Chain A
Amino acid sequence: MKFRTLDVVQIGLYLVALVLLTPLVGGFMANVFSGEKHLMKPIFGKLENRVYKVCRIDPSGEMNWKEYTLALLAFNLVGFILVFIFQEMQRYLPINPRHLPAVSWDLAFNTAVSFVTNTNWQSYAGETTMSYFVQMLGLTVQNFLSAATGIVVVLPFIRGIVRKKTDAIGNFWVDVTRTTLYILVPLSVFLAMVLVGEGTVQTLSNYRNVQTLGGQEQVIPVGPAASQIAIKQLGSNGGGFFNMNSTHPFENPTPLTDFLEMLSILLIGSGLVYTYGKMIGSMRQAFVIWSVMMAMFIGMLSVSLYSEWKFHPAYVSTPTMEGKETRFGITNSVIWEVATTSASNGSVNAMHDSMTPLSGLVALVNMMTGEVIFGGVGAGLYGMFHFILLTVFIAGLMVGRTPEYLGKKIETYEVKMAVIGVVAPSAAILILTAIGSVTHAGLSAINNSGPHGFSEILYAFTSAAANNGSAFAGLNTNTVFYNLTQAAGMLIGRYAVIIPILAISGSLARKKSIPPSPGTFPTDTPLFGFLLVGVIIIISALTFFPALALGPVVEHFLMLAGKTF
């Protein structure tokens, strides 16, 4: 197997498509959020108003940051309870042709937390655990709502910058409703239809028993998959309808579906940066952030491609196809791997556990940055805000200027909050991994010996705290220990980032806006971009280098030396 022109073409196509679609989607989202006229308003406008009426929501009412946060938490809590109850009641609920029984309590707890926090970690196999009812009314719904939750958190921050001397940072209910109806639903309808046209299943009938050509019995699982997979890709969710996610031929049947699903992973995350620029009235600011994301993405992609094509276990002479699908080959598996871990998507079209150590390292580092390279829908950008504030602060210290960002003074409170937003998930990853690495409950779940086994545990908790949901899937995490510790990681990784950014948004909105002076450190220059990259890399490298050295780094050298475990 050789790296060919075709591979270069596919990488190029992916990047070009992403660049071209970003302003389109980003511009559209800006119109939706600012309540201006847009394409979908005539179609869903009446429905939007009807929703407010039924839910007794006053769409003109504004909230302060605490009310906004409480509304978000309440909304997520109700979602959690519903998904949990649906799983426990599964056998008494309709649309369950396989007569699946209730899900065990710890698994149901883990899954409910997982889907509400936009992590979509799966300790279960969809085709043997979840009824169509749970997949549709439980999981698909949270695919939409957790994505909408992530996206709307960006909006108070924008309002905090644009508005002056006010407590009002928007209305959570309105933001969530608009995001879901105007952005997520239309895109999902489109993608779902293309997926079915290519071969993804979409039916409510039962699985099909067949006798194969070779004379064996085979049960062919089907279900309402396309509708769920579309939003799973677009909303940086990543929880598959089937166990093996987008490696499964019914979830991702052809190279074209693969391309579109892969594009959907980064589409909204990338578009939101454009939306940000449009709404704060400075495309230059947004362009610097977007360029930082793109540059880091290309860097990570290059390392992973190099590793997968160049290195292989000493006992074979070809790049490894373990865990990869023939129709996607190596290059598409790597683009997906880098995209899904940059965004907090977590869907996979190849098994990360079986990739070369340096590719695994790239996936880990992508998640350890807090997933700010495009990132989860909304989550990537608000995670980036934390880093931007830290960078502004550090730059201010270096040159002795009072830190400001877009006319707003950055003071002790904002910096404290930004530090919490960056440190909390990292601390959760390291502490939980440490617990997993020394307890019997943690160690008994690993599938590979040697440094790779440690990588499996590190990956699991990184994925949880980064709300990614992809896995070094060899680790058997459907145990009470992992179901609960993972859930803790997911909750910290979600809300210890969201609450600080909302607090910052509230604080920014209350401040007056000061015009830029010669003392202002400009944040729309390449210099700032470089500083931002530096801060991101230094913070994640300092935090995680020791752990990475024990896992993928040492495994890389052992693999080259021909050592196996």
Chain B
Amino acid sequence: MKTTILPAIYLTLVMTLLTGLLYPLAMTGIAQLVFPKHANGSLVAVDGRVVGSEFIGQDFRSNKYFWSRPSAILYDPIPSGASDFGPTSDTLKSLVEDRKANFIRLNHLPSHTAVPAEMIYASGSGLDPDISPEAAELQIDRVAKARGFNAEERQKLIDLVESHIESPELGLLGEPRVNVLLLNLAVDAMNVSRK
């Protein structure tokens, strides 16, 4: 028995040291040296004030901003969460119908508009930073109006959305998407330069 238990204890302790302390600390050290921005959460700052992370979505309610996806946790990351409603859930059905109607009404869209699926369904993390290019384009008029843009500025806004579309990575992986926080920051910057 002793010949089994003792090596079990020793080996567990040695491996704890190697894979539980040395390995993560080494990774942290290298990460902090080589990729300090990413390793620390890809924080985004405006005039020296940190306003969030590029990868963590935020809740935008003002008409002056592009809106993020619905979130089961209202973009409060402590902790992350999803709705976990199944496809035959009554609650999900009424949520989806409300979101669709609201998106059309608040963006002054024609009633038959096909609202992109990600704008009527909540994400898995509750922190999805992205929406589809279509979802961003459907919000342009509302944002332009709320900011009192003239025709020329509206065109600039359209170009801005266009330039914020991220293509599938390496042209092959994932979906085309728009990072909502980065887009809204760019829109704010556009306003500032106007004044």
Q: List residues of chain A with CB under 8 Å of any chain B CB.
A: 1, 6, 9-10, 13, 51, 54-57, 67, 70-71, 74-75, 77-79, 82, 125-128, 136-138, 140-141, 144-145, 173, 176-177, 180-181, 185, 188-189, 192-193, 196-205, 207-208, 210-214, 216, 218-222, 224, 226-228, 231, 242-244, 247-250, 253-256, 258-259, 312-313, 315-329, 332, 348-351, 353-357, 447-452, 455, 472-474, 555, 558-559, 563-565
Contact = CB atoms under 8 A, between A and B. Distances in A.
Nearest to A198: B38
B111 to A, nearest CB: 14
B56 A75 contact: no
A564 B69 CA distance: 24
Nearest to A311: B87
B148 interface: no
Given A213-B52, A559-B88, A325 B12 contact: no
Interface in B72-93: 75-90, 92-93
A521 to B, nearest CB: 39
Contacts of B84: 323, 351, 353-354, 447-448, 472-474
B6 interface: yes
A140 B60 contact: no
A357 B23 contact: no
A61 to B, nearest CB: 9
A451 B87 CA distance: 11
A54 B177 contact: no
Interface stretch (B101-109, B119-127, B139-147, B152-160): B119-127
A516 B80 CA distance: 58
Given A6-B168, A214-B59, A558-B88, A196 B31 contact: yes
B130 A474 contact: no
B41 A250 contact: yes
A67 B7 CA distance: 13
Contacts of A355: 87
B55 interface: yes
B12 A75 contact: yes
A324 B124 contact: yes
A55 B168 contact: no
B130 A323 contact: no
A192 B20 CA distance: 14
Contacts of A259: 173
A354 B18 CA distance: 39
B21 interface: yes
Nearest to A134: B20
Contact of A137 (B14, B20, B31, B169): B20
Interface in B48-70: 49-62, 65, 69
Report the 4 A-B pairs with minimum CB-CB distance, sorted nearest first. A255-B174, A247-B124, A474-B84, A125-B79
Contact of B23 (A55, A71, A227): A227
A138 B24 CA distance: 12
Nearest to B131: A326
Contacts of B51: 210-213
Given A249-B129, A315-B93, A177 B86 contact: no
Given A200-B38, A320-B121, A324-B121, A219 B31 contact: no
A75 B8 contact: yes
A231 B75 CA distance: 28
23 contacts: A1-B116, A6-B168, A79-B12, A140-B19, A140-B20, A177-B11, A180-B18, A189-B26, A199-B42, A202-B32, A210-B50, A212-B75, A214-B58, A218-B52, A250-B55, A315-B93, A319-B117, A320-B87, A322-B122, A353-B82, A354-B82, A451-B88, A455-B86
B190 interface: no
Contacts of A348: 124
Contacts of A192: 27, 31
Given A203-B31, A256-B170, A243 B14 contact: no
B85 A140 contact: no
Nearest to B90: A564
Contacts of A126: 79
A452 B86 contact: yes
Given A213-B185, A255-B175, A324-B123, 4 more contacts: A127-B78, A321-B120, A322-B82, A452-B88
Contacts of A9: 172
A558 B9 CA distance: 54
Contacts of A67: 4
B136 to A, nearest CB: 11
A202 B31 contact: yes
Contact of B19 (A185, A193, A258, A472): A185
Contacts of B7: 55-57, 71, 173
Contacts of B50: 208, 210
B124 A254 contact: no
Given A55-B7, A173-B7, A354-B85, A323 B39 contact: no
B88 A145 contact: no
Contacts of A452: 86-89
Given A71-B4, A319-B117, A327-B175, A349 B130 contact: no
B151 interface: no
B97 interface: yes
A71 B181 contact: no
A219 B123 contact: no
Contacts of B5: 74, 78
B141 to A, nearest CB: 20
A70 to B, nearest CB: 5
A550 to B, nearest CB: 14
Given A247-B124, A255-B173, A448-B89, A216 B28 contact: no
B165 interface: no
A429 B125 CA distance: 28
A224 B21 CA distance: 11
Contacts of B175: 255, 326-329
B69 A326 contact: yes
Contacts of A320: 87, 117, 121
B16 interface: yes
Contact of B125 (A56, A140, A248, A318): A248
Contacts of B116: 1
Contact of A75 (B11, B92, B127, B129): B11
A221 B79 CA distance: 9
A54 B10 contact: yes
Contacts of B12: 75, 78-79, 82, 145
B72 to A, nearest CB: 9
A197 B36 CA distance: 9
Nearest to A13: B172
Contact of A244 (B60, B93, B120, B125): B125
